[in-house]
Amino acid sequence: MVTATEYGYNSKIEGDVVVSRADAVINWIRSHSVWPMPMGLACCAIELMAAGGSRFDISRFGMEVMRFSPRQSDCMIVAGTVTYKMAPAVRRIYDQMAEPKWVVAMGACASTGGMYRSYAVLQGVDRIVPVDVYVSGCPPRPEALLDAMITLQNKIRRERSTARLISSNR
């Protein structure tokens, strides 16, 4: 009596297989290996460091690999006050990051200029780079940053990555 067909899937040879959509797989991988580019410019960077420490432990989300090289990072976390003098440097580093890339504006300063209503401070980093998630607070608690990163993960999961891979025009 034949119990398994010769033509079907043979798990003894091929191993276990899960069938899914390409988008789901790509996004699953991307959302769990978001390597941050820590653009720590002021006091918010201290909270960013706390988020990297063992107490808040950003590595639970696959994000502990803070990369100071824009070539190796996926998500720029702008943590701090962006002065006009610094703004071109922030944009150039963003330009040097490889696609796909995201930006989190951490804290009041990066989001809006914060309390620095001043001649020297860029009034929101979204004037020079496209921001995906804004975090309120001055400074935001590390939990707030983690919440933002989870929001970013959810956002990444909804992306149409295959279409983006295939078409050059996105």
Partner 1 sequence: MSDELLTTLMERRTFLSARPSADHPAVNCPASHLVAFLRDLRDAEGFEMLLDVTAVDWAESRRPRFTCVYHLFDLERSRYLRVASDCHEDANPTMPSVAGLWATADWHERETYDMFGIRFEGHPDLRRILMWDGYPYYPLRKDFPLAGEETDLPGADVAEHTDARVSAAPMAGGPFVSGTSGGPMSEREPRAKDESWTENAPKPKKPDPTKESS
Q: Which of 53/88 has CB closer to partner 1?
A: 88
Q: Which of 42, 63, 149, 152: binder of ligand SF4 (CB under 6 A)?
A: 42
Does position 68 interact with partner 1 (CB under 8 A)? The reply is no
User: Strands, DSSP E only, in the chain?
Assistant: 36-40, 75-79, 102-106, 133-135
Binding piece for partner 1, criterion CB under 8 A, among 10-18, 38-46, 100-108, 127-135 = 127-135
Does position 80 interact with ligand SF4 (CB under 6 A)? The reply is yes
CA distance 149 to 61: 8
CA distance 95 to 59: 26
Binding piece for partner 1, criterion CB under 8 A, among 3-11, 43-51, 54-62, 85-93 = 85-93
Q: Is the dihedral of CA 99, 133, 76, 20 positive or negative?
A: negative
Q: Which of 94/102 has CB closer to partner 1?
A: 94
Does position 56 interact with partner 1 (CB under 8 A)? The reply is no
CA distance 86 to 104: 17
Does position 170 interact with partner 1 (CB under 8 A)? The reply is no
